[in-house]
């Protein structure tokens, strides 16, 4: 059985590892796109919108609702990618818990 000092050292190391992984994740960019890539959204790993681009073919002043829907779709896909990467990265660390 591990002594408490070893458990504390491992917990501190894991915390440092998690902070490092979170910083690496925040520095990554994730891009999501709507159907046919008509709208793309790029977000940072800390969920900040960095860019939204529109294919000129989709910009119809008489149909802004479709543009809004595609924008939301692109942002949501980028958020899904962030969630997947977060789960993959942080899940690997959770498997190293000493207790």
Distance CA 51, CA 71 (A): 11
Domain residues for 13? 4-94
Domain count, the chain: 1
**Which among 85, 9, 12, 5 is positioned nearest to 46, based on CA atoms?**
85
The percentage of the chain sitting over the pLDDT mark of 70, rounded to a whole number, equals: 91
CATH number of the domain residue 19 falls in: 3.30.1310.10
Residue 59 lies in a domain: yes
Residues 6+ apart with CB under 8 A from 2: 10, 98
**34-78 per-position pLDDT tens digit:** 999 999 999 999 999 999 999 998 889 899 999 999 999 999 999
Model confidence pLDDT, tens digit, residues 5-22: 888 888 899 889 989 989
| Domain presence at residue 99 | no
What percent of the chain has a predicted confidence (pLDDT) above 90? Answer: 60
């Amino acid at each position: 059985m591990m002594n408490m000092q070893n458990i504390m050292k491992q917990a501190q190391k894991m915390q440092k590892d998690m902070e490092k992984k979170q910083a690496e994740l925040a520095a990554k960019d994730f891009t999501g796109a709507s159907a046919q890539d008509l709208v793309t959204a790029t977000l940072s790993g800390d969920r900040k919108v960095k860019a939204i681009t529109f294919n000129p073919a989709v910009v119809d002043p008489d149909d802004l609702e479709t543009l809004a829907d595609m924008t939301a779709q692109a942002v949501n896909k980028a958020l899904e990618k962030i969630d997947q990467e977060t789960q993959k990265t942080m899940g690997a660390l959770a498997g190293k818990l000493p207790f």
